[in-house]
Amino acid sequence: MNEDNNNGFSHLIEKEINSQDKILKPDFSQKTGREFLAFYLQSKFKQVMAYDNKASQPIFREIKYDFIQKFTKRLVQNPAKRIMVGITGESASGKSTICNEIKKVIEKFQMPVTIMSTDNYFNDISALISKFGSFDNLRDNGYDVDSPNSFQLDILKEDLENISKGEDIYTPEYLLNGTGVSIPHAKFVPSKKIVVAEGMATMYGDNKDIYDVKVYVETDFEIRKDRFMKRACTERNQDIENAKKHWEYILVAGEKYVQPYRKDADIIINGDSDLTYFAQILEYFYTITNNFED
């Protein structure tokens, strides 16, 4: 995404803020007010899509034809429920990077959004690592790290259901220090109006049915490989040969366990695109839903 496109979207945001023809704020406690918001969001989303289609590197690769209608209908019929957003994709596709951009917008505007990582739901494998001597030895002896069976999916489902009903939760915390330790009920996660769950296991099993918005991040192979190798060698102190070996593993695991959920996604995001532009799209939606005249 070049600078002209970024400036163009900034212009749309400024135009909304400075408009002299603001709409009178509807009463969202009434069904008619929510129906108006649904219609308003549908028209604005079409505007965003038309703009994105003209971008040099669009961020939206695919969107299900009926997604916007279904999503806005849910907002009208069940306004009390938290808006649940699930983000998945293969390793190094950019899921965490996208969530970091979401965090920036949250902090800037103090938006009511919670972000939780489903990577914290890995099983505790500390005993297995002790037995085999290291995580790498465990993997090399056939332990399928990214398999759905390697996650606490029953606990994840219970937590997602509770947080969607407005209950604060305490999630496990999986330690990324090579010990394989998972600490139960370790991380406090507040239930805010919008809950974003990201990670490889986000859609595993029937957990995908909990989300109102299902997002799949898809990224060019070479970009993913470069990201993975840099992260493995600099952030996780792996030697180059072991990093290559693990990369070969995650390619197979991603194809087997993650790619099948692409078909279930409402939105396919281009993980190669400029995430500053992605943040501006989020800012635009914040602006249009908080720029009514009282």
The values of phi and psi at residue 130, to 5°, are: -60, -40
pTM: 0.90
Compute the Cα dihedral for 257, 258, 259, 261 and give only its sign. positive
Cα(219)–Cα(91) distance, integer angstroms? 10
| Assigned token pair, 49 | 């899509």
Q: What is the mean pLDDT of the chain?
A: 89
What is 20-82 written as a DSSP string?
Answer: S-PPBPP-TTSHHHHHHHHHHHHHHHHHHHHHHHTSSS-SEEEE-TTHHHHHHHHHHH-TTS-
Q: Is the pLDDT of residue 81 over 60?
A: yes
- The residue among 98, 272, 264 whose CA lies nearest residue 197 is 98
pLDDT of res. 8: 59
Give the residue, 287 or 62, on which the prediction is more confident.
62
pLDDT digits (tens, 9 = 90+) for 16-68: 778 777 778 888 889 999 999 899 889 989 888 988 888 888 899 999 989 99
The 3-state DSSP class for residue 265 equals coil
Cα(14)–Cα(57) distance, integer angstroms? 22
Lowest mean pLDDT among 19-23, 73-77, 197-201, 254-258: 19-23
What whole-number percentage of the chain has pLDDT above 70?
96
Cα(278)–Cα(270) distance, integer angstroms? 10
Q: Is the pLDDT of residue 179 over 50?
A: yes
**Spatial contact of 113 and 219, defined as CB atoms under 8 Å apart:** no
Helices (H) and strands (E) in the chain, counts: 10, 8
Compute the Cα dihedral for 25, 26, 28, 29 and give only its sign. positive
Lowest mean pLDDT among 51-60, 141-150, 200-209: 51-60
pLDDT band at 2 (very low <50, low <70, confident <90, very high): very low
Query: What residues have CB less than 8 Å from 57, skipping those under 6 apart?
Result: 1, 270, 272, 273, 274
| Assigned token pair, 87 | 């983000």
Type of residue numbered 258: V
| Assigned token pair, 233 | 């060698």
pLDDT of res. 233: 74
- Across 85-103, average pLDDT: 91
What whole-number percentage of the chain has pLDDT above 90?
56
Cα(207)–Cα(157) distance, integer angstroms? 6
- Across 189-206, average pLDDT: 95
